[in-house]
Structure 1
Amino acid sequence: MSEENRNNVIIVDNGNGDEPQLDYSGNRSFASVLEARLARRTVLKSTAGAAALGFMSLGLAGCLSSDNDDDDRAPGGGDGGEAGPLLGFTAIPTSESDDIVVPEGYSFQVILPWGAPILGAMPAFAIDNTGEDQGMQMGSHHDGMHFFPIEGEEPFEGSSDEGLLVMNHEYVEPRFMHADHIGVTLSSGAVVMRDDGTRDRDQALKELNAHGVSVVHVQKRSDNRWEHVQSDYNRRITGLTPMEIHGPVRGSNLVKTKYSPEGFATRGTLNNCAMGVTPWNTYMAAEENWAGYFGNRDETLPREHQRYGIRASDSRYRWALANGGGEEFTRFDATSTGASAADDYRNEPNCFGWMVEIDPFDPQSIPKKRTSLGRFGHEGVVFGPAVDGEPVVCYSGDDSTNEFIYKFVSEQPFQKGVTDGSILDTGTLYVGRFNDDGSGDWLPLVHGQNGLTAPEFADQADVLVNTRLAAGIVGGTPMDRPEWGAVDPNNGDVYFTLTNNSGRSEANGANPRTQNRHGHIVRWAEADGNHASTTFAWDIFLFGGDAGQSGVDNLKGKGPDGETLTADNLLSSPDGLWIDKDSRVWIQTDIGEGSQNSGVFEVFGNNAMLCADPKTGEMRRFLTGPVGQEITGVITTPDQKTMFINVQHPGATTTPEEWGAGQRYVRSSWPDRNPVRVPPRSATVVIWKDDGGVIGS
């Protein structure tokens, strides 16, 4: 964070708000495990054919060695059937253009940009919209999303022409939001303070209302284009929306605040990145890099603050300093000021870092924070197949370098038509340990076991509030920034993107597996095909890179059949991930705004979306986005003929100098193309195949 006075304007710059990328655990890094694994494997083929794709400039590597010593099915083994080619489109080249590019034979439409009115008085978008206006408009920085068919019965079956599009809004870029930020030399994360050192109250309200989730009723027209439908389903859930706390942490002393002395409730959800869809047709919003929204000036910070990156500063956007006060703003100051936790907001940060369940078909429902799934930087949550009579199983990654991958297994069995979100309140949270030989173990995070005992942990609520600490104690494997997960619907394989790990080592590029600039994707199969199992077999599905400059001698530029990454499929920083009904693996990239189109990242162009066939190892670039953005969020309608993706923070690479000099939209004017009056805006893109076929085929 920095603070300075420029031309009598006080500027506070908290950067991009990511949590510190540090290794607190002391456990072996994933890179060292991978090195041992690669040293012993001799054949880089999966049982279903050559696998995907590249290692940090090293080309195509295999999914799984055929020398696996485990008796359980290895990932990539398939379901025993043969399928035809999955990828029927021509790969597009990298791009630095300020536009969406899709393959020949496809068309697209931009809908629902930040500020588009969706409910209430339907205020039209303008740079001087009020905070109240923003609560009736699309939020900012679109991220993970799902299309719920309008019947409201199944999350992946039903109408392909009408439904509820539900999406997260991760964070905000204040310079794009406020009229008095125009013409001031500001970075993407900076805010302007008032002369008395406070934040403008309405600006703080606008930013809070731009966070959260949007529920939007949408309908397909006869020309393949989609439109917003005015109905009672439309809803905004923001940083101020009342929420209930459920699971073992409910009522704990660690979440008691002035707002909820009983520890039953809190307000709002923040920094929602990826998401999840439950088998009972509800939406799960993930609270990711939430810690930077809080400050704590106590002399000694509790571990549940310190371990998550909360510092003594006044928080990312300094909402606690909104002029006129009000607890909806001052709660972001977690300093102990009262006689007890019930007299202040010292525990407010403990009310964040959870998965939040939302029923999109009940606009009056209160969102619920499901604490059994753990507290950390949730990127999202992905559910295994729900089987009657079996537990519900879901997976989540902690989006910070050297953090962990988790699995939750419910105590109660799933019963179709009966089960609701309460099934997530009892069960076991596990952390993954990835062993050198390609095997893995799920280690339970249960009070009283594996060192999680008193006095260090008072009870299960303490374990869950301090999930990161508990995961390190029991021996979880620190990973290279776990982000999105996906489960192959045809064979149950679980995939997770590990976006990069450059933040934990010197930027000298000497060892590409310890300075993992370009990331990779890990994949595993649970023992006996049972997602509730406590063991699994893992390997690497994909290594990001630029097709072969430096690297390990025995893999340099080569894969199982001598393949190398090419201009059609090189990529860096895999992030968004989804697997469709036919097992196409859709991969979205997130090269950070400070690195895009420069240095070693220049070759990759703007962030993009690629598609891979896990049986053949083939991968092609399907879409590129405008300047400065991240491609994120992907889902199709049940018939797979309409795809929705999100474009987040276009124009974020605009420099402070360009912004201050009046060249505000020199980098991007997407999607409105009105660089005089309208800033770049995050938005949703609808894609269809001109011949009416399945997307990707």
Structure 2
Amino acid sequence: MAKHDLDPNYLDPNYEPVVNRSGNHPFHEVLAARLQRRSVMKGTVGAALASLMGVTLVGCSSDDDDDAADSADSSGGSASAATELGFKAIPVSTANQVVVPEGYSAVPFLPWGTPITGAYPEFQADASNTGAEQEQQVGMHHDGLHFFPIDQKAGGNSSTEGLLVMNHEYINQDALHPNGATAAADNLGVRPEDEVRKEIAAHGVSVVHIKQDSNGTWDLVFGSPFNRRITGGTEMDIRGPLRGYCKLVTRFSPSATETRGTLNNCSMGPTPWGTYLAAEENWHGYFANSEVNPPREQTRHGVGSSSRYDWELAAGGADAYVRFDVTPGLGDPDTDYRNEANTYGYMVEIDPFTPEAKPQKRTALGRFGHEGVIFAPAVEGKPVVCYSGDDSRFEYIYKFVSSQPYSAATAGGYLLDEGTLYVARFNDDGTGEWLSLSLEDDDFAAKVTAANGSMVGDINFTGFADQADVLLNTRLAADIAGATPMDRPEWGAVDPNTGEVYFTLTNNSQRTEGQTDAANPIAENRTGHIIRWSEAGGDHAATSFDWDIFVFAGEQGTETVVDGEAVVTLDDDNIFNSPDGLWFDYNGRLWIQTDGSDAAPYQNNMMLAANPVTREIKRFFVGPVGCEVTGVVTTPDVKTMFVNIQHPEVDWPFGTEGDHPRDATVIVTRDDGGVVGA
């Protein structure tokens, strides 16, 4: 039997052991301190909304009544026509199909196994494709994605042809193989080599050249040189401060300048210069270290004595697989793979328009469980600024500010190799600070000195050797800086109209009864919320900000109570839990995707649209049984939307036999050819 039969956590992409025991001021305490009166929630599940920073949180009902106008006034402006939600909200669903509003169509596209390159090997319904064939097919468990217009490099914005680039987060071993995975314990202590090769190939990124015909139908451009697979075995360069660093030396790269593969790619981020950044999130579970006292750069992330898929036990002992055993050998680091895990945990830059270019791991953006990255609008002559969440309970939100200014004529990935990495602290009064993680910053350097020789959480802190060591141990550095632990910060989005930054805080089931307070009245908070902030002076490179809560998720009857008065009640049109995916379309609508409980009242996971000014929210899309709805983008004209369906529980649109359900992208369009969501 497969390992996940022994421990179901191995199949959970959101399974991260809580490894932050730094004791930093928890976010729920910060939020409670800001409330003037106790917030009250009606209903048995969910969370109360609150008035923060003097901004009343209202307008979550999709009813067309006077409340919408009132909410526009209280939030400082009226909703523009571009962000109005012109569709009728759909109900929750338990159907094994995609549901969209009346007047819209949804068509599945590019399922797992679609041949896109090489010999274009056809997908076999019994999942009998080989590892070599999977390397030429779309990977498994679709996640973050982006559409690059085919003429983007020339300054164009085609909405009928482009490169669709998507992440493949993890795998379902039972579905990937004809009869599930072969466990090492049942096979003389080894796993079949081709099974391991196929599993590694099903991870990574797909670049797919697609084009719309005159009838509006999208299809793969067969034979395009842009079609490409990047997998868990693709050779990559290490860039930034950790390039050449001693703790990244491996047998594969004694110079510590290269590595192989990218894994557990969840969200992503398109750069201002037209490339794609894939996030490495729960990479810790792929490695095994059997030593009693692993190094801090592994323990602070949860690397354990066994790996999720036992790739290190592949028959034949090929170098491509033994690298997942990071137990130190008897020789020097260049004789084994004790440092292999140190080459993961980064944002990986891929140029979809240059298929021959090696992906680049951008280490200046920090090493942690990156959910994704979101760029502030690039301004000529100003630094490049981007944000990233560390998707684990009680982890942090980070910001990178480049050292060199942006120039549209010369911009490239080099801008991400030098700069300052900050971590967020949310203060009780609605202000916040970006805390520098640079040893050249006097405040951070003083904190490092003061912590030297003490316990930081479970780690006996012995200092940082240099700035490269800080970035290798980004989480530990953030602990020492005094960042605010958050409830699983996941996707981010920047409002194109206001510049405000939004982040989903998906949930935190680890909160105990003793931690409940006015802002968090329910133990084991499983519904989550969305936070947002405005940078000081409208400058995304600023070191201070003002924050509030955009919305808390919850069930029917969840009330927002401000100064003793209920200002909004969630209803059937907009209940949701565990917000995860987040994206602003080109007209300024905010799209919210969920990865939560599929029990009543929420049922199947969904996507909602929100007006950021009025906080009107409507349910737009519901996925099939057992899936996560994750990843969304439109063409520049906002008339074609691409949405990813990950890990559907059973077969849904493709008619495959047995236990081999297929992840897929869904194309959503309006039947009248209009703007999606309008």
Q: TM-score, normalised by structure 2?
A: 0.89
Give the 3-state SS of the residue equivalent to 2:152 in structure 1. coil
Partner of 1:493: 500
2:410 matches 1:452? no
Decide whether aligned partners of structure 1 residues 469 and 56 sit closer, same or farther in structure 2, where only a CA change above 3 A counts: farther
Partner of 1:588: 593
**1:212 positional shift:** 0.3
- Residues 174 and 660, structure 2, Cα contact 8 Å, conserved in 1: no
Stretches of structure 2 that go unaligned for 5 or more consecutive residues are: 58-71, 453-461
Partner of 1:97: 95
2:30 to 33, 37, 62: 33
2:372 to 352, 369, 380: 380
**1:40 positional shift:** 6.8
State the one-letter code of the partner of 2:130: T
Decide whether aligned partners of structure 1 residues 555 and 350 sit closer, same or farther in structure 2, where only a CA change above 3 A counts: farther
Cα offsets for 1:364-413 (capped at 9, x unmatched):
00000000000000000000010000000000000001000000000000
**1:617 positional shift:** 1.6
2:350 matches 1:358? yes
Decide whether aligned partners of structure 1 residues 396 and 650 sit closer, same or farther in structure 2, where only a CA change above 3 A counts: same
Partner of 2:219: 227
Cα offsets for 1:91-133 (capped at 9, x unmatched):
0000011000000000111110000100111111111100000
Give the 3-state SS of the residue equivalent to 2:591 in structure 1. strand
- Residues 121 and 136, structure 1, Cα contact 8 Å, conserved in 2: yes
What aligned pairs does 1:14-25 form with structure 2 within 5 A after superposition? 14-17=10-13, 18-25=15-22
2:125 matches 1:133? no
What aligned pairs does 1:205-284 form with structure 2 within 5 A after superposition? 205-230=197-222, 231-284=224-277
State the one-letter code of the partner of 1:65: G
Cα offsets for 1:639-692 (capped at 9, x unmatched):
0000000000001xxxxxxxxxxxxxxxx2112134x35621100000001111
**Residues in 1 aligned to 2:186 and 2:211: alpha-carbon distance in whole angstroms:** 44
Decide whether aligned partners of structure 1 residues 297 and 192 sit closer, same or farther in structure 2, where only a CA change above 3 A counts: closer
**Residues in 2 aligned to 1:500 and 1:386: alpha-carbon distance in whole angstroms:** 31
Q: TM-score, normalised by structure 1?
A: 0.87
**1:153 positional shift:** 1.9
**Residues in 1 aligned to 2:346 and 2:467: alpha-carbon distance in whole angstroms:** 15
**Residues in 1 aligned to 2:367 and 2:352: alpha-carbon distance in whole angstroms:** 23
Partner of 1:517: 526
**Residues in 1 aligned to 2:171 and 2:575: alpha-carbon distance in whole angstroms:** 30
Give the 3-state SS of the residue equivalent to 1:179 in structure 2. coil
State the one-letter code of the partner of 1:486: A
2:170 matches 1:171? yes
Partner of 2:653: 671
**1:547 positional shift:** 3.0
What aligned pairs does 1:334-483 form with structure 2 within 5 A after superposition? 334-449=326-441, 450=444, 451-452=447-448, 456-483=463-490
- Residues 149 and 160, structure 1, Cα contact 8 Å, conserved in 2: yes
**Residues in 2 aligned to 1:283 and 1:369: alpha-carbon distance in whole angstroms:** 12
Cα offsets for 1:61-115 (capped at 9, x unmatched):
55752499xxxxxx99989786236100000000011000000000111110000
Partner of 2:151: 151
Partner of 1:142: 142
State the one-letter code of the partner of 1:142: H
State the one-letter code of the partner of 1:401: R
Decide whether aligned partners of structure 1 residues 99 and 35 sit closer, same or farther in structure 2, where only a CA change above 3 A counts: same
- Residues 485 and 495, structure 1, Cα contact 8 Å, conserved in 2: yes
Which deviates the most, 442-451 or 578-587? 442-451
2:610 matches 1:640? no
Decide whether aligned partners of structure 1 residues 36 and 615 sit closer, same or farther in structure 2, where only a CA change above 3 A counts: same
2:665 matches 1:684? yes
**Residues in 2 aligned to 1:424 and 1:410: alpha-carbon distance in whole angstroms:** 6
**1:20 positional shift:** 0.8
Give the 3-state SS of the residue equivalent to 1:14 in structure 2. helix
- Residues 589 and 611, structure 2, Cα contact 8 Å, conserved in 1: yes
**1:632 positional shift:** 0.4
**1:512 positional shift:** 3.7
- Residues 513 and 522, structure 2, Cα contact 8 Å, conserved in 1: no
**Residues in 2 aligned to 1:77 and 1:484: alpha-carbon distance in whole angstroms:** 27
Give the 3-state SS of the residue equivalent to 1:244 in structure 2. strand
- Residues 134 and 209, structure 1, Cα contact 8 Å, conserved in 2: yes
Q: How many residues align?
A: 641
- Residues 256 and 342, structure 1, Cα contact 8 Å, conserved in 2: yes
Decide whether aligned partners of structure 1 residues 308 and 295 sit closer, same or farther in structure 2, where only a CA change above 3 A counts: same
**1:419 positional shift:** 1.2
Decide whether aligned partners of structure 1 residues 81 and 683 sit closer, same or farther in structure 2, where only a CA change above 3 A counts: same
State the one-letter code of the partner of 1:32: E
State the one-letter code of the partner of 1:275: M
Cα offsets for 1:463-502 (capped at 9, x unmatched):
0010000001011000000000000011100000000001
Cα offsets for 1:603-644 (capped at 9, x unmatched):
101000000111112100000000010000000000000000
**Residues in 2 aligned to 1:193 and 1:260: alpha-carbon distance in whole angstroms:** 31
**1:508 positional shift:** 11
Decide whether aligned partners of structure 1 residues 109 and 191 sit closer, same or farther in structure 2, where only a CA change above 3 A counts: farther
**1:3 positional shift:** 5.9
Decide whether aligned partners of structure 1 residues 169 and 15 sit closer, same or farther in structure 2, where only a CA change above 3 A counts: closer
**1:582 positional shift:** 2.1
Decide whether aligned partners of structure 1 residues 517 and 637 sit closer, same or farther in structure 2, where only a CA change above 3 A counts: same
**Residues in 1 aligned to 2:544 and 2:482: alpha-carbon distance in whole angstroms:** 14
- Residues 507 and 515, structure 1, Cα contact 8 Å, conserved in 2: no
**Residues in 2 aligned to 1:616 and 1:289: alpha-carbon distance in whole angstroms:** 35
Partner of 2:46: 57
**1:60 positional shift:** 5.5
Give the 3-state SS of the residue equivalent to 2:465 in structure 1. coil
Partner of 2:578: 573
- Residues 13 and 191, structure 1, Cα contact 8 Å, conserved in 2: no
**Residues in 2 aligned to 1:22 and 1:507: alpha-carbon distance in whole angstroms:** 20
Give the 3-state SS of the residue equivalent to 1:632 in structure 2. strand
Stretches of structure 1 that go unaligned for 5 or more consecutive residues are: 45-53, 69-74, 183-189, 652-667
Cα offsets for 1:440-478 (capped at 9, x unmatched):
000000125422358510001100010000001011000
- Residues 631 and 643, structure 2, Cα contact 8 Å, conserved in 1: yes
- Residues 11 and 192, structure 1, Cα contact 8 Å, conserved in 2: no
**Residues in 2 aligned to 1:425 and 1:619: alpha-carbon distance in whole angstroms:** 39
**Residues in 1 aligned to 2:621 and 2:316: alpha-carbon distance in whole angstroms:** 47
Identical amino acids, percent of aligned pairs: 54
Partner of 1:542: 551
Decide whether aligned partners of structure 1 residues 673 and 509 sit closer, same or farther in structure 2, where only a CA change above 3 A counts: farther
Decide whether aligned partners of structure 1 residues 509 and 621 sit closer, same or farther in structure 2, where only a CA change above 3 A counts: farther
Partner of 1:48: none
**1:531 positional shift:** 0.2
Give the 3-state SS of the residue equivalent to 1:566 in structure 2. coil
- Residues 607 and 629, structure 2, Cα contact 8 Å, conserved in 1: yes
Which deviates the most, 205-214 or 609-618? 609-618
**1:254 positional shift:** 1.1
- Residues 320 and 332, structure 1, Cα contact 8 Å, conserved in 2: yes
Cα offsets for 1:122-169 (capped at 9, x unmatched):
1111111000000000000000000000013279x6100000000000
- Residues 35 and 50, structure 2, Cα contact 8 Å, conserved in 1: no
**Residues in 2 aligned to 1:215 and 1:299: alpha-carbon distance in whole angstroms:** 41
